[in-house]
Structure 1
Amino acid sequence: MILHDLSPPAQQPSEREAELEAEIGRLRRSLDEAVRRTTVDVPAASAGYEHEVADLRSALALKQARSAELQQANAKLTANCATLAASEARYRLAVESASDYAIFTTDLTGRITGWNSGAQNLMGWSEEEAVGAPANLIFTPEDDRTAIAETEMRLAVTEGRGEDDRWHLKKDGSRFWANGLMMPLRDDEGGLVGFLKILRDRTEAKQAAERQVLLVHELNHRVKNTLATVQAFTSQSLRTAGSLAEAREAITARLIALAQAHDVLTAEDWQGADLAQIVADALRLHGGDGERCRWQGNAIRVSSRIALALAMVLHELATNAIKYGALSNATGTVSVTWKITEQGDRSVETRLRLALRWEERGGPPVTPPTRRGFGTRMIERGLASELQGEVRMSYEPAGVVCLLDIPLEMG
């Protein structure tokens, strides 16, 4: 009733039912369409999601493979770095242990980039002082003016190494003779990145070689002088001797005196001799002892040239003393004294001279000779020509006095 009361009066129940049935039909069709669309779209969407997931999984697999490759590369790089570090440590140890060698590196401009302890020991500059400095600081001014450092670098590049022997400078300005080797430094691709320089001090070897050359020249000169001396006193002995026996005796005595002086100088490597030893040996050779023969003077060493000349002079004086002078009897004495004197004053160069005095006492009365024998001539002329010295022979009644004054050459 109520429904009939609420419905519009003109609308019948059959019409209302038809409308409701139509509405229900539309709703059913809409629901069916919605169900149909859902059934079709969900599988399509699901398929799209599956493709995306597959792509993501493929990308993840690639990333995982790449990560594995990077891990392997990193492990290899770490191993190479460890090997390189060990190699560098061994290299540094080897370089630092080579204290007898100066080893340093430079860049392409010639500036020092590395400096080992051997370089510091040899040349004086510390690593802090040397690194960054130009390598030509070790070259002499004359070599620096001719660009020797640049020449060595060019030679190292073109020939693979540059080697030479030359003088180099130390920090204190002194020089040393070194054998040097320069080599190029290259990277893994073969590119030039710098130079390696190795030096070894050969100063002693250089000086030894120079001494050897000097000794050969000295030996040649010495042999010629010795032969000339032997020839002179042999000729004079034969000319002035009364018999061959006397000549043989004189020649033998002079040869012994000369040989004795040679022995003294040979023991000193011909670098000179002690004057007292030369005097003592000359007197002992003729039987002089501490009571009859005395000698005293400055403790000095004389050159080999002076030592030989004095040995022969003393031999002639002692021979004459035995024949005619203080040593010809049992009571005479011989005194040999010497001192160093100076020649010149403040206005000129002062030169040292050796003043030696031979004095005989207690022998037979002295009579000046009527002629000069070979011994006297050798003393007077020999010293004058050989040593540019002066000789004064004085035949005093109490005994012969001989004064020698010669330029001093220290040995």
Structure 2
Amino acid sequence: MDVDGRFAKPPQRRNNHPARSVTPLNTLHDHAVTVPDREAELEAEIGRLRRSLDEAVRRTAKDVPAATAGHERELADARAALALAEARCAELEQVNVELVASRSLIANSEARYRLAVESAKDYAIFTIDLSGRITGWNSGAQNLMGWTEEEAIGAPANLIFTPEDDRAAIAETEMRLAVTEGRGEDDRWHLRKDGSRFWANGLMMPLRDDEGGLVGFLKILRDRTDAKRAAEHQALLVNELNHRVKNTLATVQAFTTQTLRSAASMNEARESITARLIALAQAHDVLTAENWDGADLAQIVADALRLHGGDGQRCQWQGNAVRVSARIALAVSMMLHELATNAIKYGALSNATGEVTVTWTMREAESAATDAKLRLSLRWEERGGPPVTPPTRSGFGTRMIERGLANELGGEVRLSYEPTGVICTLDIPLEMG
């Protein structure tokens, strides 16, 4: 159609171009008939596909609830397992927290235990295994016994026992008592590393594990050497005191009896007895001040002479500085009292011009008759008094000096009545105080 609305004429074909073939009418008719059939087939196929799809949707819709339920069950099971795992994880975390706290408590407890053990420096504390070897050693054990921890660990526990206790298997006995009685306790001598001995109170106890099984022993020692020495010294003093009291009473009884027999009157007897008691008491005072461990001989001599008026002009004394035992101190004191009393009544101290000299020396013992390595020689000498004549009879003082002292001190005593004055010599084994 052209612009005017009219049908344009088809262009004229040139003769030099071949003409297109024309489809016959019957062929066009056949083609027109075939297309609707194809569309019908397509529609039929689409219908079939739709039915198939609907059937598939129906089947799918029918199957979905069962599949969904299965998945939901699986999901529920998984969630339950997850919750259980989370609960278990929480429990494990709580257990871990408790374990950490427990380990902290144990560490703190061990620290406090070690601190307590190491701070107990007055106590030797160590552990022993079932074979009897040392497995632990605190600083108190090192301080008391001398072995370091490195030296003690692995050593047998009986190294601290004396040879006699080791032969008697005392360590094994203590272990047995610890197991059967719950503890083994005793007081005995033990050894230090340097070989010296110390007295200790010992306690052995069993070590057990959490199940109650025996795994070793705990040994605790406390040094009680000073207390032991003090007890021994006290026992010695008590025995010595008993001995001294008996000797003192015997001495008092002897000089009282003899004085009463020989005294011309009761007044004379009273004065004589009183003087001897005072001399004895003064000697006791000197020894008491020295805890009865002995006395200085010079002090014994000086006190005895001063008691009888010796002023250092008419009575002089000189000798080596020496401490003598209590036994010698008492005997010498009583001897000097009797000599001084006799000198005041009859000898050098009975006038205004007489003098008394007391001297003493020490020398080595010439024989091994006694344990003493030294001997004491003491000399009493009077001069300037009235002429001396030997007595016709021996009084109590003379007998006590010549016989009593010789027997008491295991030595020799000699009394010589020289015209110029009395001389008394004493030679005895020296017991140092």
TM-score of the superposition, structure 2-length normalised? 0.82
SS at structure 1 position matched to 2:385: coil
Residue matched to 2:101: 79
Residue matched to 1:177: 199
Residue matched to 1:3: none
Distance 2:129 2:52 in 1: 85
Deviation for aligned residue 1:37:
8.4
Distance 1:39 1:274 in 2: 135
Which of 278, 281, 285 is equivalent to 2:307?
Answer: 285
SS at structure 2 position matched to 1:91: helix
Say whether 1:120 aligns with 2:142: yes
Residue matched to 1:243: 265
Residue matched to 2:128: 106
Please say if residues 152 and 182 of structure 1, whose CA atoms lie closer than 8 Å, have aligned partners that are also in contact: yes
Residue matched to 2:354: 332
Residue matched to 1:89: 111
Q: 290-299 vs 105-114, which deviates more?
A: 105-114
Distance 1:205 1:283 in 2: 41
Counterpart of 2:91, as a letter, is E
Q: What are the ranges of 5 or more consecutive residues in structure 2 without an aligned counterpart?
A: 1-36
Q: Which has the larger radius of gyration?
A: 2
Deviations 1:19-75 (A, max 9, x none): xx99xx99x999999998899799698888777666555544433322221111000
Distance 1:383 1:311 in 2: 11
Counterpart of 1:342, as a letter, is E
Distance 1:110 1:29 in 2: 100
Deviations 1:260-286 (A, max 9, x none): 111111222221111111101100110
Deviation for aligned residue 1:220:
1.8
Please say if residues 302 and 409 of structure 1, whose CA atoms lie closer than 8 Å, have aligned partners that are also in contact: yes
SS at structure 2 position matched to 1:103: strand
Residue matched to 1:187: 209
Distance 1:157 1:146 in 2: 19
Residue matched to 1:312: 334
SS at structure 2 position matched to 1:143: helix
Deviations 1:369-394 (A, max 9, x none): 33332212211111211111112223
Deviations 1:165-191 (A, max 9, x none): 222111111222211222222222222
SS at structure 1 position matched to 2:425: strand
SS at structure 2 position matched to 1:184: strand
Say whether 1:359 aligns with 2:381: yes
Which of 177, 184, 201 is equivalent to 1:162?
Answer: 184
Please say if residues 335 and 360 of structure 1, whose CA atoms lie closer than 8 Å, have aligned partners that are also in contact: yes
Distance 2:200 2:91 in 1: 53
Distance 1:137 1:304 in 2: 41
Deviations 1:57-100 (A, max 9, x none): 55444333222211110000001111111111222222222222
Say whether 1:145 aligns with 2:182: no
Q: What are the ranges of 5 or more consecutive residues in structure 1 without an aligned counterpart?
A: 1-17
Q: 1:338 to 1:38 in 2, by over 3 A?
A: farther
Please say if residues 344 and 350 of structure 1, whose CA atoms lie closer than 8 Å, have aligned partners that are also in contact: no
Residue matched to 1:408: 430
Say whether 1:384 aligns with 2:406: yes
Please say if residues 258 and 308 of structure 1, whose CA atoms lie closer than 8 Å, have aligned partners that are also in contact: yes
Distance 1:236 1:258 in 2: 16
Distance 2:305 2:318 in 1: 13
Residue matched to 2:322: 300
Please say if residues 372 and 429 of structure 2, whose CA atoms lie closer than 8 Å, have aligned partners that are also in contact: no
SS at structure 1 position matched to 2:291: coil
Counterpart of 2:149, as a letter, is E
TM-score of the superposition, structure 1-length normalised? 0.86
Say whether 1:217 aligns with 2:261: no
Distance 1:275 1:156 in 2: 56
Distance 1:285 1:138 in 2: 56
Residue matched to 1:274: 296
Deviations 1:223-272 (A, max 9, x none): 21111111211122122222222222111111111111111112222211
Counterpart of 1:197, as a letter, is K
Counterpart of 1:154, as a letter, is R
Which of 224, 234, 246 is equivalent to 1:202?
Answer: 224
